């Protein structure tokens, strides 16, 4: 049986380091003068082996936490890839580009209405002018009359393959 100072000297460490082993639970705490040197040596070597293998001590805990975070990130990436391949996830950039193009097309058609209908309205009564303009506006707005169709088109644009993106 040995004291704490003798046990620390036996495993070639300082008293402060031995106290750290005790605090971490690497070495079993005993009453003063009751340390078995063989047991202390076995516990210290076991602790040092686990630290060297990345499984023990403060550095081991940090490494384990980093490994867990990396594994979780890889899992999330794979889940997103699975959703993308299953067509349940859309690429936002492609959806945005599709909606922009759709809105630009509608804008162009609406801006072109005066020129397209001007010759049809010359010298016509007001009721006929109204009917011609109403028909032209309704035809131009028909593209967005069905929101489900526009949304389906946007979603379809978002799930295109990576090779077609930008």
Report domain extents, the chain: 4-53, 56-89, 90-164
Per-residue confidence (pLDDT) for residue 41, from 0 to 100: 94
d(CA 71, CA 47): 26
Tokens 């402060």, located at residue: 16
Contacts of 99 (CB under 8 A, 6+ apart): 150, 154
At 80-122, the pLDDT tens digits run 888 878 877 777 788 888 888 888 888 888 888 888 888 888 8
pLDDT score of 104:
85
Which residue is associated with the tokens 């620390």?
A: 8
Q: What share of the chain is helix, strand, coil (3-state, %, to 5)?
A: 75, 0, 25
pLDDT at 74 over 90: yes
At residue 141, the pLDDT reads: 78
pLDDT at res. 90:
72
Residues 53-67: tens digit of each pLDDT? 766 665 566 777 888
* pLDDT tens figures, 21-58: 999 888 999 998 899 999 999 999 998 888 777 666 65
d(C-alpha 108, C-alpha 131), whole Å:
21
- Residue 9 confidence (pLDDT) above 70: yes
Reported in sequence order, the residue ranges of the chain that DSSP labels E, i.e. its strands, are none
Stretch 125-142: mean pLDDT: 84
In this prediction, residue 27 carries a pLDDT of: 92
pLDDT band at 73 (very low <50, low <70, confident <90, very high): very high
Res 163: pLDDT: 41
User: Above 60 in pLDDT, residue 154?
Assistant: yes
């Amino acid at each position: 049986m040995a004291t704490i100072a003798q046990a620390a000297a036996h495993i070639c460490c300082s008293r402060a380091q031995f106290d750290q082993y005790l605090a971490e639970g690497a070495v079993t705490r005993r009453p003063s003068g009751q340390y078995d040197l063989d047991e202390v040596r076995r516990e210290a070597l076991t602790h040092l082996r686990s630290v060297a293998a990345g499984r023990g001590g403060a550095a081991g805990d940090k490494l384990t936490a980093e490994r867990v975070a990396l594994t979780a990130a890889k899992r999330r990436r794979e889940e997103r890839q699975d959703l993308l391949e299953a067509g349940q996830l859309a690429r936002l950039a492609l959806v945005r580009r599709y909606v922009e193009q759709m809105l630009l097309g509608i804008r162009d058609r609406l801006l072109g209405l005066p020129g397209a209908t001007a010759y049809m309205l010359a010298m016509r009564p007001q009721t006929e002018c109204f009917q011609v303009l109403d028909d032209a506006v309704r035809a131009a707005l028909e593209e967005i009359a069905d929101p489900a169709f526009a949304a389906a088109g946007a979603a379809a644009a978002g799930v295109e393959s990576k090779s077609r993106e930008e």
